[in-house]
Structure 1
Amino acid sequence: MKSNYIISINQSNMNNSVYILEDRSLLYISGEEAQSFLQNLITNDINKVTEKKSCFASLLTPQGKFLYEFFIIKHKLGYFVDCEKSQTENLFNQLNIYKIRSKIDILNLSNEFVVVSFDKNKFLSLDRAKDEPGNTIKFREDPIFLDPRNSELGARLIINLEKLYLSLKKLGLKDDNIEKYYEKSFNLGINPKNLNDLQNKLFGIEYNLEELNAIDFKKGCYVGQENTARIKLKDKLSKRLLPLKVIDGNIEKDEAIFHNEKEIGKILINDKKYPFGLIKFKEADFKSNLKFKTKKSIIEINLPKWIKI
C-alpha cells in the first residue's frame, strides 16, 4: 500500500544518492500573459506544461542557432525556468528584451531555490509517479519531475533552499558527488554543462533538440522556427553535437577533427572530462572503431544509442 509519499519497493534496486546541482539557477515567469509569452519564444509547446507534466526547451536566434536550454515547470500561477547558472543573467536579460509590454513578471530566484537530481527508481517509488518523460508530481508543495530528455538521468526536485536538507532527509536521499551526475549525462551523450561554448555555434536541431524532446514541430511560430523546420522537412541535418573521448594528446576549442585526412567536424567544448564536437555524422565511420584525429590528439567519437543514422 502507498504511503503519503513513498511506496514500498525493493531497496536493493534503488540508488538513494542525490546530486545538488549548484550549477543550475531558477527564473520564475508569471502573469496573465506568461503562457502566450513563452509560447511565442520557445521551441517546445508550453500548452503541454501542466501541474503533471514539465518540458525541456530551448531559445534560439532568429536564424535557428542555439542560445539557451532550460526546463519549464508549472508552479502555482507561473512557471519555473531551470537553466544553467552561467546563462542565467543573459537569459534573464534576453527574456526582458522580448517582454516589451507583455503582462508578465520575470524574477531571478537563484538565491532562494535549488535544483537537485536523484535516481529514476527512487522517483518511481513516490506516490503518483509515472515512468513518462516530464512526469511531474509534488512532494508537499515542491515539484519533482522525471527528466524529459532521457529518463535515465533521473528526476529533478525544485525546492526552497531553507527546506532542502529536511526534505532530502524525509525522502531518504543522501548528498553525493555531482561529478557522478555529469559522468552519467556524458555517457548518455547529453551535454551536462558549458552551454555558453555552444552559443551561435550550431543550429538548435544540430544540438539534438528533437531527440531530447525539446522541439514541437506541430506548434506555431517561435524564434528560429523557419530554419529549424526547413532543416527537418528537407532532410538537411548533416551535423550533430556528439561526445568525444581523448585517446592521446590534447584538444583545443574550435580545432578541426579529421577522418582519413578529411575534415568531418570541430571541437566545440574542450572540457577535459566532457568534451563535445560538432560532427558531420553521415561522413564519419562509427562501425570500424577507427580513431579520429585533430592536430594534437587522437580521439573517439561516441554515437549515443538514441541517435539513429
Structure 2
Amino acid sequence: MNNSVYILEDRSILYVNGSDAKDFLQNLISNDINKVTDNSSCFASLFTPQGKFLYEFMVVKHKLGYFIDCEKSQSEEIFKQLNLYKIRSKVEILNLSNEFVVASFGYEKYLSIEGTKDVLGFTLKYREDPIFLDPRNKHLGARLIINLEKLYLSLKKLELKNDKIENYHIHSHKLGIVPKDLNKLKNKLFGIECNFEELNGIDFKKGCYVGQENTARIKLKNKLSKRLLPIEIIDGELIENESILNNNVEIGKVLINETYPFALIKYLDSNFEKDKIFQGKNGSFKVFVPKWLKI
C-alpha cells in the first residue's frame, strides 16, 4: 500500500455559513447541494450566465456551513464572486486559507481507514476533520481538510509520509484531470466541455443555477462537439492558444500549455485521430482520451 500524502499547498479553503447558506449555494453551483451531508461531499463549478467555465471546487459539509476547497489561484476571485451574489442573503463567506490545509492520499490507503466506504464523495470524520473520497474519480484518492496545527499529528497517526506535490499533479494529468492552472480555462469553454458530467460535477435534475439553461440545452440537443483533453508532449513546447491542425483543418486549441497541458478538441471531427503525433509550432505532441471518458 502506498502511504504517500501530498500537502496541496496550491489549494485554498473558503467557508460559507449562515441560515441561507444552503439555498444560496444551490442557486449558484452546477451540482446539487442536497448531495452534501456529513457523509457525502461533491465536486461542483461556477459558470457564467452563458454556461462558460469560471471556477471549480469541492463542497464539503462542516458544522453549520460548507467548506469550499478550491485552487489557490482562483480563491480570491471565488470569494469576490460569492460576495457579489450574496446581496441580502443571510450568508457569511470567510477565507480560512491561513488556518486550514488540504492533504491528499491514495485510494487503497483511504479504504484501510475504519468506517470508509468505496463510494465517490463518501465523507467521514477523522478526529473531527473531514476525509472524503474524491468525488470526480476514485483514482485521485481521498482528501483530508484539516487545521494546520493538527495536520502533522493526524498524518503521523494515519502513518502517512509527505511526498512531492508534483507527483500528485503528474498522477492527475495522466488520469486526464486538470491539476492546476484553472485560470487558463476561464471563459474559454463551456463547463460541460470540461467533462464535468463524467466527473460528477453537473446535476441535470436540479433546478436553476447560473448557466443552467445553456448547459442543459447542449446536453439535451446533443450539441456537445468539443472536449477538454490532456496532451502528452513528445518534444519541444506548446504555445498557449495555438491551433492544433490535421490535414490543414483546425481540430482544437491549446488552452493550458505548461507542465500539465490540455487542449479543447473537436473530438467528433473526422480529422481528429486519437493516437496521432501532432506537430505544433515549437514541438510535437499527442492528445489522449482518458479511460473514464467513453467517447
Task: Give yes or no for TM over 0.5.
Answer: yes
Q: Which runs of 4+ in 1 moved over 3 A?
A: 284-287
1:258-293: CA deviations, max 9, x gaps?
11221100110011x211100001125445x32122
Map 1:139-218 onto structure 2 (within 5 A): 139-218=126-205
Secondary structure of the residue aligned to 2:210 is coil
Select which of 270, 280, 290 maps to 1:304: 290
Contact 2:6 2:162 in 1 (8 A): yes
Contact 1:248 1:297 in 2 (8 A): yes
Contact 1:34 1:78 in 2 (8 A): yes
**CA shift at 1:295, angstroms?**
2.5
> Aligned equivalents of 2:51 and 2:132: distance in 1?
28
**CA shift at 1:306, angstroms?**
1.2
Match of 1:43 in 2: 30
Match of 1:268 in 2: 255
> Aligned equivalents of 1:286 and 1:172: distance in 2?
45
1:29-61: CA deviations, max 9, x gaps?
001100000000000000010000000000000
Runs of 5+ consecutive residues of structure 1 not aligned to the other structure? 1-13
Match of 1:279 in 2: 265
Map 1:1-309 onto structure 2 (within 5 A): 14-271=1-258, 273-283=259-269, 284-287=271-274, 289-309=275-295
**CA shift at 1:110, angstroms?**
0.1
Percent identity between the two aligned chains:
68
> Aligned equivalents of 1:291 and 1:87: distance in 2?
33
Contact 2:38 2:61 in 1 (8 A): yes
Contact 1:55 1:72 in 2 (8 A): yes
Amino acid at match of 1:163: K
> Aligned equivalents of 2:170 and 2:273: distance in 1?
22
1:110-152: CA deviations, max 9, x gaps?
0000000001111111121001100001101100000000000
> Aligned equivalents of 2:64 and 2:235: distance in 1?
52
Runs of 5+ consecutive residues of structure 2 not aligned to the other structure? none
Contact 1:286 1:303 in 2 (8 A): no
> Aligned equivalents of 1:298 and 1:25: distance in 2?
35
> Aligned equivalents of 1:281 and 1:172: distance in 2?
43
1:1-20: CA deviations, max 9, x gaps?
xxxxxxxxxxxxx1110000
Amino acid at match of 1:210: E
> Aligned equivalents of 1:207 and 1:293: distance in 2?
24
> Aligned equivalents of 1:38 and 1:244: distance in 2?
33
Match of 1:9 in 2: none
Contact 1:24 1:84 in 2 (8 A): yes
Contact 1:115 1:157 in 2 (8 A): yes
> Aligned equivalents of 1:261 and 1:173: distance in 2?
51
**CA shift at 1:307, angstroms?**
1.2
TM-score normalized by the length of structure 1: 0.94
